[in-house]
Amino acid sequence: MWHSPVPPRRAVAMSVSHSSRLNKLVREQYMRLPQDGKVQVTYVWIDGSGEGVRCKSRTLDKEPKSIEDVPEWNFDGSSTAQAEGSNSDMFLVPVCMFRDPFCLDPNKLVLCEVLKYNRKPAETNLRHTCKKVMDLVKDSHPWFGMEQEYTLLGINGHPYGWPDNGFPGPQGPYYCGVGADKVYGRDIVESHYKACLYAGVKICGTNAEVMPSQWEFQVGPCEGIEMGDHLWMARFILHRVCEDFGVVATLDPKPMTGNWNGAGCHTNYSTEEMRREGGLKHIEAAIEKLSKRHDYHICVYDPRGGRDNSRRLTGHHETSNIFEFSAGVANRGASIRIPRQVGQDGCGYFEDRRPAANCDPYAVTEAIMRTTVLNETGVETKDYAGH
């Protein structure tokens, strides 16, 4: 009896970029070629959106041993929403150097500040004032650790691994999950982790988050300006790793509407006196100061003055309400959470859960220092140019 052949199973089309399908073995052939003593330096900077990163590379005759060995450079600011075409040259000022996990030693990644033609900081160069504030409060030895949540998307903008039509099952099994039906994109996460370790970024952990295709990595503890430098480089490396895999990492604070968790950048913070015995009273004093300046912090905790966070801070899905300040021990629905262990020990740190995933870490850490150490109040900030 004749049977018709079984039709082949149709392959599931994954929405990945064309460039990710290029033959990587061919690329490796070239990457192994010697460099004849030359060094490739990739300059990285924040563009006019305040969220995106850009990069370009140049050759140096020898390996830079410190950031002072890396020369200033320039770029076309009219192509990054940072200048007019008639006066478009912007300066790249190297501030922090890392090993390059993509081109390998002795090549470097260099984070840069952006200055305008008149040597004044570009509008999205929030590092400039953050550095001034961190220098002022250096005797407090502020430590930060930031928890960067992000969501993996296909090139079509749909969460990676989600059904083409419909939704995955409700939240519950995905947080710190294991198994092909619970986590999507672990290869990307582990590659990013290793790349950060190689680069010298102070990454300290990672986990799958509550919404499927959403992940988190943590950077810290970092002191002062180092927090922003290391988180921005970790973000650059994440986008660059995702490029190799052909998917997109979004820092949108609420990438999916409905009954899905948003994405934040919870910020853990302490000063030296908070970390000492009896430090809980200093933690409580800092929280009291923050409670009186809630509106100011909300305005700087995302790039759009709080509009992005308004989609996330609803009082649901492990968030506080954007219009109310709250604090509590082990309370993930509060603006400020004091970890249970800190409450028991009587010293340590606290967690500000309000910053959005797409916040600028320079803005967040600067704001915390202005309020808790420099004792600023109200919505206006002081200019410390004379200090």
Alpha-carbon distance of 115 to 121, in angstroms, equals: 4
Strand partners, 145: 268
Q: What are phi and psi of 121, to 5 degrees?
A: -65, 140
**Looking at the domain assignment, is residue 51 inside a domain?**
yes
User: Are 196 and 230 within one domain?
Assistant: yes
What CATH number is given to the structural domain containing 265? 3.30.590.10
CB 349 within 8 A of CB 287: no
Task: State which of 124, 144, 166 marks the end of a domain.
Answer: 124
User: Are 262 and 293 within one domain?
Assistant: yes
**Pair type for strands 39-46 and 108-115:** parallel
User: Are 100 and 149 within one domain?
Assistant: no
**Looking at the domain assignment, is residue 19 inside a domain?**
no
**Looking at the domain assignment, is residue 6 inside a domain?**
no
Q: What type of residue is 349? A: Y
Q: How many residues does the chain have?
A: 387
Q: Which residues of the chain have pLDDT under 50?
A: 4, 6-12
CB 96 within 8 A of CB 83: no
pLDDT tens-digit series, residues 173-200: 999 999 999 999 999 999 999 999 999 9
* Token pair for 313: 């801070």
**Looking at the domain assignment, is residue 4 inside a domain?**
no
User: Are 114 and 142 within one domain?
Assistant: no
Task: State which of 70, 90, 124 marks the end of a domain.
Answer: 124
User: Are 244 and 308 within one domain?
Assistant: yes
In this prediction the pTM is: 0.95
What CATH number is given to the structural domain containing 40? 3.10.20.70
Domain residue limits at 166: 134-373
**Looking at the domain assignment, is residue 14 inside a domain?**
no
User: Are 262 and 303 within one domain?
Assistant: yes
User: Are 217 and 360 within one domain?
Assistant: yes
Any idea what DSSP says for residue 314?
B
* pLDDT the model gives residue 2: 52
Task: State which of 91, 124, 157 marks the end of a domain.
Answer: 124
**Looking at the domain assignment, is residue 129 inside a domain?**
no
Please give the helix or strand (H or E) that residue 196 lies within, else none: helix 186-199
Q: How far apart are the first and last CA of the chain?
A: 93
Buried b (16+ CB within 10 A) or exposed e, 333-351: ebbbbbeeebeeeebbbbb
The angle subtended at Cα 262 by Cα 169 and Cα 153, nearest 5°, is: 70
* pLDDT the model gives residue 289: 98
Count of domains forming the chain: 2
* pLDDT the model gives residue 66: 98
**Looking at the domain assignment, is residue 283 inside a domain?**
yes
Q: What type of residue is 92? A: L
* pLDDT the model gives residue 132: 97
**Looking at the domain assignment, is residue 11 inside a domain?**
no
User: Are 113 and 194 within one domain?
Assistant: no
User: Are 53 and 195 within one domain?
Assistant: no
* pLDDT the model gives residue 10: 43
